[in-house]
Amino acid sequence: MTKEKMIIEIKEWLKEAAGYIRVSLTDELSVSQKSGRTDLVTNIDEETQTFLIKRINQYYPDDRILAEEKGFDTLDSLAGRVWIIDPIDGTMNFVMEQENFCIMIAVFEEGIGQLGFIYDVMKDELYWGGKGYGVFLNDQKLLQPKDTSLSEGLLGMNAYMYGKNIYSAGEIGHASMGIRVSGCAGVELIAMLKGNHIGYISNLSPWDYAAGLVLLDEFGFKYSNIEGKPLAFAKREYFLAATPTTYTEIQENFIQK
């Protein structure tokens, strides 16, 4: 199975899923809480994930899946080929704003990211790419952003981390040109790929960052958990991604000091 064929298939699945999501916005959503009133899941999250899993099982029955909803949220390892899915990243935005949410899919092989897709549904913008392909917005290949320092750019930030100064997030934000809070990891990662933001600090699960990591790799960004250790792909953890210069400045001046 070639990557080119896989890319074509995934794009088709994303377009089909997005079309269903857009239509669903005219219907009444079924919204429930997971861990609390701000941690939401809708029937559309679950139905979108079910659709994508059915397609993967149909075309790639031997592959494994890590996904946010309905019991797919743990794997013992990333051995073999693993699909990592966030059916709607930014569910609160989806429910409250009906924009600023994404579908995200990543394909990893033996723990190494091969393909990543971040689809801004309402803008109809698909950021995708992979190992050796570069990064694209729809059919346009993007240029690698500049390696900008902390004092020269905007940071995407988790609001709670910033407000409580967790891991010096407040101090880091003050050292930058300013912070932006979108409530959607996919939107924040897109901002980095476009060169609009120099970094992103948040508290994320594997499906929040997996697709983005594949694309960040192509542009030479650095990423890890907030303490500089490899991401676990197993639980929610404090996350840092940034231009190489900004990443080093944050680690040396705020985290490891």
Q: What residues are designated binding site for Mg(2+)?
A: 68, 86, 88-89, 208
- Strand 112-120 with 125-130, pairing: antiparallel
Q: How far apart are CA 257 and CA 252, in angstroms?
A: 6
Collapsing DSSP states into helix, strand and coil, what is residue 119? strand
Concatenated DSSP letters of 30-83: -EEEEEETTEEEEHHHHHHHHHHHHHHHHH-TT-EEEESSTT-S--S---SEEE
Angle in degrees, CA 92, 95, 99, rounded to 5: 85
Residue with tokens 């429930």: 32
Please state, as a whole number, how many other Cβ atoms lie within 10 Å of the Cβ of residue 151: 11
Name the amino acid, one letter, at 90. G
Angle in degrees, CA 160, 218, 61, rounded to 5: 85
Q: Chain-centre distance of CA 64, in angstroms?
A: 19
- Helix, strand, coil % (nearest 5) of the chain? 40, 30, 30
Q: How many residues does the chain have?
A: 257
Q: Which residues are annotated as a binding site?
A: 68, 86, 88-89, 208
